[in-house]
Structure 1
Amino acid sequence: MTAHIRRISVHVDEPDPGHFFWVLMEEGDDASEWTELESAEESYDLWLDALDAGVRALVRYAPDERIGPREVNEDEDADPVG
């Protein structure tokens, strides 16, 4: 069974004027719940440079560019929980 594609977004934050940071967020179990995966450690001078770097970070989550980032498959041989 193929794992579902992960819903990961990239956006740019500007906490201080002229200091742009990319941020990757992933949708949780509830569509209104998002968790930060990672963000830029240093700011960019241009919004577009931050966005480009964020997109490159997102691409690293996809081990195969043809199918994108996928959820980790559960171990079918694992003991059931509960």
Structure 2
Amino acid sequence: MSHIRRISVHVDEPDPGHFYWVLMEEGGDASQWVELESADEPCDMWLDALQAGMRALEGYAPDERIGPRSKGDDEDGAAVGIPTR
């Protein structure tokens, strides 16, 4: 199985009191990050934006045991460190 995708979530506040979640993924090297997705509408509270971003990030993981994987990865294979039964 390949390594987990390196996706981060952060909150941006372009205008005071308008909080947007943003998902970023590591690019070709560790110093390059590319925006994957962001909120269309702002939240009134930072925590609400963060929680919405976390839900969006969870959507990238088809299986909560192994997290988000790149396309083409063996989704039916055993997760590293997780025994199969």
Aligned CA RMSD, in angstroms, stands at 1.0
Following superposition of structure 1 onto structure 2, how do residues 3-82 of structure 1 map, counting pairs within 5 Å?
3-73=2-72
Hey, what's the Cα distance between the residues in 1 that align with 2:71 and 2:2? 7
The secondary structure found in structure 1 opposite 2:47 is helix
- Alignment size in residue pairs: 73
- Pairwise CA distance, 1:29: 1.5
Structure 2 stretches of 5 or more lacking a match? Answer: 74-85
Structure 1 stretches of 5 or more lacking a match? Answer: 75-82
When Rg is computed on C-alpha atoms for both structures, the one with the higher figure is 1
What is aligned with 1:80? none
| TM-score normalised per structure 2 | 0.83
